[in-house]
Amino acid sequence: MHKALGPGLLESAYEECSCRELYLRAIPFQRHRPLLAEYKGTELNCGYRLDLLVANTVVVEAKAVESLEPIHEAQLLAHLKLSRWKLGPSINFNAPVLKDGVRRRIL
């Protein structure tokens, strides 16, 4: 997908293509899954959502930025903590070579 489209598109375009690839490979996924925060026993619906949850195991944060910054890692780690899933990559589709734009995190 990245070889065909290259960098420079919006994050939403890469998310859509990623979903298409997952669908074609019959890999279960959820896009924009709502993520509730909890504070002192109260659920807070603050509008958080996961970009992709793949195989009910891996949280994927899709980005289309100049470079992955510490704030992007913090966002992924916060999503992992809130969701209670343990594994997730941030994927920067704006990287000239995709493998250089992938940062994997384990909680």
In tens, the pLDDT along 56-95 reads 999 999 999 999 999 999 999 999 998 889 999 999 999 9
Note the CATH number of domain 2-106. 3.90.320.10
Please give the full DSSP string across 23-64, using - where no structure is assigned: HHTT--EEEEEE--EEETTEEE----EEEEEETTTEEEEEE-
For the entire predicted model, the pTM comes to 0.88
Q: What is the DSSP letter of 93?
A: T
C-alpha–C-alpha distance, residues 88 and 82, integer Å: 13
